Amino acid sequence: MATNFKPALIVVDLQEDFCPPNGSLAVANGRDIIPTINTLLSLPFALKIATKDWHPADHISFASNHAGKKPFTDFTTIINPTNAAETYETRLWPVHCIQNTAGAELLPELDISKIDKVVEKGTVKEVEMYSAFYDPCTAIDSAKEGFKTVVVAEGTRGVDQPVTTWDKVKEELEGKGVDVVSMEGEEVAKVRNA
C-alpha cells in the first residue's frame, strides 16, 4: 500500500535567550522540553527544521529602540515594507537573539546533528516575524498552507505561562486546524512506525 505520509518536524526558537538561567527573554522551564525535542529529532521525520530568531541590534521589536517604551507592556506598529496600507501591532520585548551572539544560538543540549535546515527569521529590522512561514504563528501558517499540522504539548512552552493562556492558545490553534497532541498519542506513534 502506497502512502503519502512524509512527516516534517519544525523546532521553533529553542535558543539561549529564550531559556533560563541567562536568557534575556527566558521562558519559565524552557529547558525542560529539550528531552522531548531530542526524542522527536530521533524519529524518522522526512525533514527536520529548526527556526532561530535572528535579529539585528536595532530591531523594531526591542523596547530599548523606542524612547520611553517598556518590554512586555508596550506595543509598536509594524508597517509592511512592500505595502504601507498593511499594518499590525506587536508587543515590545527585551533585547534578545541578536545575530551572531551567544543568546541567539540554539541550545547546546539540543541534538543539532539531526537538524536538516535552520531558518533564521526576524532578520529585517522593520518587521517582526514570529513564524517560519509568514505570521503570526508557524503552526497556524503551516495549516493554512494545507499541511496536516500538530503541536506536541510536551514540547511546547510560551512566553505567557499561565494555564489559562495555554488553554486559550490551544483553543486558537485547534480553531485554525492545528491539533495539539501528546508524545504518547497516535500522531507521534505514526511517525515512530514510519
Counting Cα atoms < 13 Å in the Cβ hemisphere of 137 gives: 16
By three-state DSSP, how is residue 88 classified? strand
Question: C-alpha distances in angstroms, 189 versus 4, 14, 38, 45?
Answer: 16, 23, 15, 12
The answer to whether the CB of 185 falls within 8 A of the CB of 154 is no
Show which residues are catalytic.
13, 121, 137
Q: Are 22 and 101 a contacting pair, CB within 8 Å?
A: no
